Amino acid sequence: MCRELKDPAMIINSLSGLGQFYTAKGKWAKARQYIEECYELSKMMNALNELETTTGLLSEIYEKLGEHDLALAMYEEHLEVHEGNKNDNEQREIMQTEYEMKYRLQSSQDSIANAVKLAEAEELHGEQQRTRDAQISKKNWQQVGLFGGLLLVIVFSAIVFNRFRLTNKQKETIKIQHDKLEEKNKEVLSSISYAKRIQDAILPPRSFFQSLIPDSFILYRPKDIVAGDFYWLEKSGDLIFLAVADCTGHGVPGAMVSVVCHNALNRSLREFRLTKPGEILNKSRELIIETFEKSESEVKDGMDISLIAWNTKSNVMEYAGANNSIYCVKGTDIEIITANKQPVGVYVDPKPFETKVVNVGKGDIVYLFSDGFADQFGGDKGKKMKYNNFRGLIGRIALMPLVEQGVVFETEFNKWRGDFEQIDDVCVIGLRL
């Protein structure tokens, strides 16, 4: 409705009001829609006050939505707009001071003009009087000239000093804000780097992975420094357990959830001695919900996952999945093993996860993956790759050695993405049975 208004100021106020209403309601995605429109219009109209308010709100909204890079960039712009708006007010004060000084100087000049007229009138009173008046007028001229000169010097000295003082004050303020922002960036990067060390510690080392599954590859590309995607590998007797999981969110929030989900898988296998993939996911869901129930606010985070249990002695493979299917390739034929349509976490109508026995033979290849590869925007038209193209890529390279396939997957992903930003974490694992 507010877009139909013809007055830009009314449109800005309406968009800002709607955005602040949804912000107060905690509906961040809706708030983002209106505040981003308000931001673009405010920037177009050079409405500094509204731009200052809008950038501050966008920084908060991006932070709530977990888009920390955008939040930080918008916070920097907010500071710049705030300083620009502040400087604009100070410039108006300087102009007011200059106007007052000019007014006083004009009054002095008017007084001088009146004195000249008076001197001319006095000439009518006689030659001697004119001589005396001329002498008096000369003295008056000298005094007035001296006064006017001094006044002019004072006015311009005041203006120069005021500008110098304001310039120094602005430089000092900008330096303080820059130092604060730089310190904050260092703190954030330090925290994220430490979080990466923790997440790296929970991922199985590549050497351990290669010792259990030598003919395999791993493509693991976090969107940010840390990721919501992770892979899990354990061995119990003749069984090798392998999973690729995609936790809610990415970056730091996703990484925190991944630690909880990784711990739930470990406990299900080691503490509760479960070996069926479906039973492991059922117990993991129970443990994840139990962990988040301790929070005072409602948390619905969890994970999508594909989990296989491969008996290396009998070559029997079992599978269970939460929204994440797997592909089994026999020669050039691709069989899709579908997952249960529910996450491992809070769900409206949860059902037990199903364990499926997958008919495999020696030399068959199994692919486990998150949705990051297929959902990536790119190509000539800037669209998602989608799973049809993903399977087509697998079909073209299925006969290649697994190590070479890993290189092709990464090359094709970079080629498809081009100059587009990576939108999600990417994890693809292939192994030959």
Asked if 71 and 32 touch (Cβ cutoff 8 Å), the reply is no
Q: Which pTM was predicted? A: 0.60
pLDDT at 352: 97
The CATH architecture assigned to 203-432 reads: 4-Layer Sandwich (3.60)
Measuring CA to CA, which residue among 70, 58, 67 is closest to residue 32?
A: 58
pLDDT of residue 222: 93
365-369/326-330 β-pairing: antiparallel
Q: Give the side-chain half-sphere CA count within 13 A for 262.
A: 22
Q: What is the pLDDT of residue 106?
A: 52
Which ranges in 25-47 belong to alpha helices (H)? Answer: 28-45
Instruction: Going residue by residue through the chain, which has 433 residues, state the pLDDT in tens, using 9 for 90 and above.
Output: 444 445 777 888 888 888 888 888 888 888 888 888 888 888 887 777 888 888 888 888 888 888 888 888 888 888 888 877 666 555 555 444 444 444 444 554 554 455 446 545 555 565 666 667 667 767 777 777 777 778 887 877 788 878 878 888 777 788 787 777 777 766 666 667 766 787 788 899 989 999 999 999 999 999 988 888 999 999 999 999 999 999 987 778 888 899 999 999 999 999 999 999 999 999 999 999 998 887 666 677 899 999 999 999 999 999 999 999 999 999 889 999 999 999 999 999 999 999 999 999 999 999 999 999 999 999 999 999 999 999 999 999 999 999 999 999 999 999 999 999 999 999 999 999 9
pLDDT of residue 112: 43
Bridge-based pairing of strands 333-337 and 303-311 is unpaired
- List Cα–Cα distances, 190 to 257, 260, 289, in angstroms: 20, 22, 30
